[in-house]
Amino acid sequence: MPTQEFNFDGIVGPTHNYAGLSRGNIASTRHQRAVSSPKSAAIQGLRKMKFVRDLGIEQCVMPPLPRPNLDFLRRIGFAGTDAELIEQAYQADPVLLAVCYSASNMWSANAATVSPGSDCRDGRLHLTPANLTSNLHRSLEAVETTGILRSLFDDRSLFQVHDPLPATMAMSDEGAANHTRLGPSWDEPGIEFFVYGTEYFNATAPRPKKFPGRQTLQASQAIARRHLLDPDRSIFAQQNPAAIDAGVFHNDVIAVGHQNVLLCHEMSFHHQAATLEMLKARYTASFADELQIVSFSSAELPIHDAVSSYLFNSQILTRPDGTMVLVCPAECESIPTAKKCTERILQSNNPIEEVCFLDLRQSMNNGGGPACLRLRVVLNDRQQTGMHQRVRLTDELYNQLLQWVDQHYRDELAPDDLRDPQLMVENHAAMEQLG
Ligand code: SUG
């Protein structure tokens, strides 16, 4: 089995809802208190996984986390039976109830930063689960995600699943959403490109004014050290603070890279020209071919359209024949500027030969596009055999999951439905059956 990239997608959980919990994420704020459809959200996610699998690309699933997280409610001072905890939290502040019910681990790009074994000095695959300290609801994921990753990748001779970084602002880490691995092959060492929002200890460094920069340089550097990366092949760049203030809360909302391709916007990086020059130079020095960069100006794609279309949150995938496909959210087809950009991607010099558009509206309404829903994990032959096998998406598993969703998920979930203890009972039943 050749070394290849596996996509691990989070299955949307039965409590997918719109609580407006993520400051700086415009879609989340805009849809606060809207009625969600957990069933359609999960089906849209599963269809994307099947679509990728049918392209001949390895696809795996990550389970939803058990919700509500009642331990969280106990830790912040509520007490009593499960139903009492829920009612007390609702009375104190419905936001707290939304926090413990959030299905946010569906966005597995934020689950961890992953470095392929070929980039790491000890040859093992290294994963650092993200601490997600920027948002309360997301910070609850870290411990549980670490447990899941350790059970998926439990052979210590092949994999190293680190603890999340210390949960402090200085080490704020959002995982692979701010990390891109570039290089023509999966077997040779690649270039690891880390993008951060703030430089925590440097008070004079530019910062976003309105919204938080969720990834710090200090966190990215710590990950590079832990993963035993070659400093000559690790690049750190700052996100453009004005873009963060325009709603670009992760780098994967404004840039996407894969193998020898990088799609970006003129507002992607703080030192845009220098960052792109550095990437090109390091790439050419390391490999025989060149990095193909396709950059878009604000005139072609106003930052507002970049954020609402999520063009840069598309997945770039390599098919078994070596050609690439761009999997975009359906919004890229309906927003004319974004549609034109997809046409230019097809015309310009790069290996992307096909563009397709998928409906992921339920997740998009919370700020999660195709690339947010997947964690890329490059696995060699031994690692493919050594990882947990039941998560690989087969037609059989796909059909089982569709049936499971149909049986257990609600068609609609309104904000005040979280108060109904019956929702908890339904969730327990669903998770029990998933096993
Ligand atoms: O962290 N939204 C997520 C979206 C994450 C997208 N991931 C990447 N770009 N990789 C977030 O902001 C909204 C939940 C709510 O409002 O109910 C939320 O958590």
Residue-wise pLDDT tens digits, 195-208: 999 999 998 999 99
Rounded Cα gap, residues 415 and 369, in angstroms: 22
* Residue 212 token pair: 């938080």
Give the pLDDT confidence of 34-76 residue by residue, as tens digits. Answer: 999 999 999 999 999 999 999 999 999 999 999 999 999 999 9
Contact between 207 and 196 under an 8 Å Cβ cutoff? The reply is no
For 225, counting Cβ atoms within 10 Å of its Cβ (0-12 exposed, 13-18 middle, 19+ buried), the class is exposed
Grade residue 321 by pLDDT with cuts at 50, 70 and 90: very high
Query: What is the percent of the chain with per-residue pLDDT over 90, rounded to a whole number?
Result: 99
Q: Whose CA is nearest to atom 1 of ligand 1?
A: 22
Q: Whose CA is nearest to atom 8 of ligand 1?
A: 372
Is 90 exceeded by the pLDDT of residue 410?
yes
Active-site residue flag, 174: yes
Residue 68: asked if its preceding bond is cis (omega within 30°), the reply is yes
Q: Which residues 6+ apart lie within 8 Å of 235 measured at CB?
A: 191, 192, 193, 194, 275, 278, 279, 282
Closest atom of ligand 1 relative to the 110 alpha carbon: 10
* Residue 334 token pair: 């309906």
Catalytic residue, chosen from 174, 192, 199, 266, is 174
Catalytic residue, chosen from 31, 227, 372, 408, is 372
Give the pLDDT confidence of 306-319 residue by residue, as tens digits. Answer: 999 999 999 999 99
Which parts of 365-434 fold into alpha helices (H)?
381-386, 395-408, 421-434
Grade residue 435 by pLDDT with cuts at 50, 70 and 90: confident
Give the residue-averaged pLDDT of 344-358. Answer: 96
The DSSP string of 242-270 is: HHHHTT--SGGGTEEEEBTEEEEETTSBT
Closest atom of ligand 1 relative to the 98 alpha carbon: 17
Give the pLDDT confidence of 114-169 residue by residue, as tens digits. Answer: 999 999 999 999 999 999 999 999 999 999 999 999 999 999 999 999 999 999 99
Q: Which residues 6+ apart lie within 8 Å of 358 measured at CB?
A: 44, 47, 48, 51, 327, 328, 329, 330, 370
Q: Whose CA is nearest to atom 10 of ligand 1?
A: 372
Give the residue-averaged pLDDT of 73-83. Answer: 98
Active-site residue flag, 341: no
Q: Which residues 6+ apart lie within 8 Å of 93 measured at CB?
A: none
Give the residue-averaged pLDDT of 68-90. Answer: 98
Closest atom of ligand 1 relative to the 371 alpha carbon: 10
Ligand 1 center–CA 310 separation, angstroms? 13
Give the chain's radius of gyration (CA, Å).
20
Q: Whose CA is nearest to atom 6 of ligand 1?
A: 368
Q: What is the CB neighbour count within 10 angstroms for residue 242?
A: 15
Closest atom of ligand 1 relative to the 29 alpha carbon: 16
Q: Which residues 6+ apart lie within 8 Å of 97 measured at CB?
A: 68, 86, 89, 90, 418, 419
* Residue 211 token pair: 């919204």
Contact between 364 and 27 under an 8 Å Cβ cutoff? The reply is yes
Active-site residue flag, 188: no
Rounded Cα gap, residues 117 and 160, in angstroms: 10
Q: So what's the pLDDT on residue 127?
A: 99
Mutate to test the pocket of ligand 1, among 249, 268, 311 (most ligand atoms within 8 A of CB): 249
Q: So what's the pLDDT on residue 286?
A: 96
Query: What is the percent of the chain with per-residue pLDDT over 70, rounded to a whole number?
Result: 100
Q: Which residues 6+ apart lie within 8 Å of 405 measured at CB?
A: 39, 42, 43, 46
Q: Name the one residue in this structure whose structure tokens are 């000095």.
A: 121
